Amino acid sequence: MRRPTQIERLYLDFDGFFASVEQQARPRLRGKPVGVTPFAEAEHTCVIACSREAKLRGVKNVMSIAEARARCPEIILVPQSPDLYRRAHNALISEISAVLPIDAIKSIDELTCRVEAADRADPQRLGLRIKQRLADNIGPYINCSIGFGANRQLAKMACKAGKPNGNMVWRPEDMPGPLLALQLVDVPGIGGRMARRLARAGITDMAGLLATQPKQMRKLWGNVTGERLWYALHGYDLQAQPSKRGMYGHGRVLPPGHRTLDHARDASRLLLVKAARRMRRDGWNADGLWLWLQIRDGSWTRAAPLRAAQDDQAVLHALEGLWAMARAQLPRNERIIRLGVTLLDLTPANERQLDLLLDDDRIRRRWECATAAIDSLNRKHGRTLVSLGAWTPPPGGYAGGKISYTRIPSAEDFW
Amino acid sequence: MNWKTDLKLSDLGAGERIEATCKKCGLTHYEQAAHLLTRPDMQHLYLDEAERLLHCANRFCRGPVRIALIHDGKTEGFVGGMA
């Protein structure tokens, strides 16, 4: 395995991304403590992101609203705007791409690039160039931290060590010095539980971790990730293996006034159609559908087979079957707090295996044509103009537009 | 000087999609870079110039649009916390 002797990777992480995008977009929020919440007027939930000003007053991400208000009474709470964050992400990525090619986008606010040979001698200047470009073309309220290292993992850790607004370089010849100043839980991939496991093995600090052997790390982790992390921490050119998509799905917490079985069914139909649209866009069929309902005393989960389908009629028919089971098994007045629908067991859409006994190819093709026509009409009009059955979005908006680590929604997900 | 003034339409990959959002009515539609390049008036344009030639897809609006590039294909997850 190759061990770079120069800086080869850059890792960029935007500081307090959601809150700083809000401040950039809305001048009234600038310079003030801002907390972003999942819904408007939500009091029994948490602050999902907060601005630098709020952090300086003791507010943290994923802190309850009550606690955030207690620590910072002047905090301004704003509901999340996923579409705004998506648009900001696209603009920021385009600007960074104009400075150097992007290797991988790790989440809505994190990305990594290869550092070109011409920039390796003075990576800090490259970092300043990116920051200046973002300040000039996007605005001064969205700051980023940049880290440079021999590989992605070290660049990410350097980036985190330099926060906020950092431009940190960890040269191979300086290693492992900067690592020794960190806590074990500062290493991406080591959480509280893993730190306890390491402590039981007598490893309580970075010096101890770095003194292990690759196979020892593998044994401690119980899988190859430990060994891969060892090589990454020791500066070898190693990074996460590309993962294969296994499912498409959406989940939703239902507002208190919309927790009946009928409301939950309507919300699940809409979420499923949105998940199926994404799946079709990416060229997959699903072999199964999974419905999960969170109820007062636990949860209710059932799966239904789909036979390599991707059209709306097939997935909605399977969903109706699952709802018939739910109605038969749950009390009529059951309250559904949260629900999730997932299309799983994916196979490429262009490799559909026909089922001789089912013999549904002709009817599936017809429904696929109808669904393609519906998708085309909706795309042309930029909204859900045509759907199979009623289209009743749950209150709160942004159904199906949730931002997660590996998913940055597109404009179509908000239709 | 921004990414739109730096990049030409012909710099984009053939399969690359451009998201165009109407500044007047908010309607979003998509254009294929390859499709736009078949238009003689677009072939040698920078993206800011192409943006000025594009209009809202709603024929009753036809307002000016703001374009964005889609970066779907570059997303990668973390594996065991590793970047």
Sketch the domain layout of chain B as residue ranges.
Answer: 3-73
- Cβ pair B83:A106 closer than 8 A: yes
CATH, domain A176-242, list 3.20.170.30, 3.90.45.10, 2.60.40.10, 1.10.150.20 = 1.10.150.20
Q: Which tens digit of pLDDT belongs to each residue from A300-334? A: 999 999 988 999 999 999 999 999 999 999 999 99
Name the CATH code of domain A247-414 (choices 3.30.1490.100, 3.40.630.30, 3.90.1150.10, 3.30.300.20): 3.30.1490.100
Cβ contacts of A189 on chain B, cutoff 8 Å: 80-82
Domain positions in chain A are 7-170, 176-242, 247-414
B65-69 vs B17-22, strand pairing mode:
antiparallel
Contact A334, A274 (CB under 8 A): no
Strands A167-169 and A144-149: parallel
Kindly determine whether residue A112 and residue B75, on different chains, have CB atoms separated by under 8 Å: no
What is the third-level CATH fold of A7-170? Alpha-Beta Plaits (3.30.70)
Token reading at A30: 């600038």
- The answer, yes or no, to whether residue A282 has pLDDT greater than 80, is yes
Q: Which two tokens stand for residue A284?
A: 């997959």
- CA angle A20/A22/A27 to nearest 5° reads 100
Tokens standing for residue A82: 């996923």
CA dist A245 → A224, A255, A307, A328, A376 (Å): 20, 30, 18, 33, 25
Nearest CA in chain A to B3: A95
| Cβ(A59)–Cβ(A19) below 8 Å | no
Contact assignment for B77 to A106 by CB distance below 8 Å: yes
Give the span between the Cα atoms of A158 and A233, in whole angstroms. Answer: 12
List the single residue in B with minimal CA-CA distance to A404. Answer: B77
Residues of A in contact with B68 (CB under 8 A): 87, 90-91, 94
Sheet containing strand A9-14, strands side by side: A104-107, A110-114, A9-14, A144-149, A167-169
With CA atoms as reference, the chain B residue closest to A410 would be B70
Identify the residue among A105, A159, A282 best suited for mutation to test binding to B, counting B beta carbons within 10 A and taking the highest. A105
Long-range contacts of A178-182 (CB under 8 A, 24+ apart): A179/A206, A179/A210, A179/A233, A180/A206, A180/A207, A180/A210, A181/A206, A182/A157, A182/A206
pLDDT in tens, B13-65: 878 889 999 999 999 999 999 999 999 999 899 999 999 999 998 889 999 99
What share of chain A in percent tops pLDDT 90?
Answer: 80
Residue of B nearest to A229 (CA): B82
pTM metric for this prediction: 0.89
Tens digits of per-residue pLDDT, A349-366?
Answer: 988 877 777 777 888 889
A88: closest CA of chain B, how far (Å): 10
Rounded to the nearest 5°, which phi and psi values hold at A414?
A: -95, -5
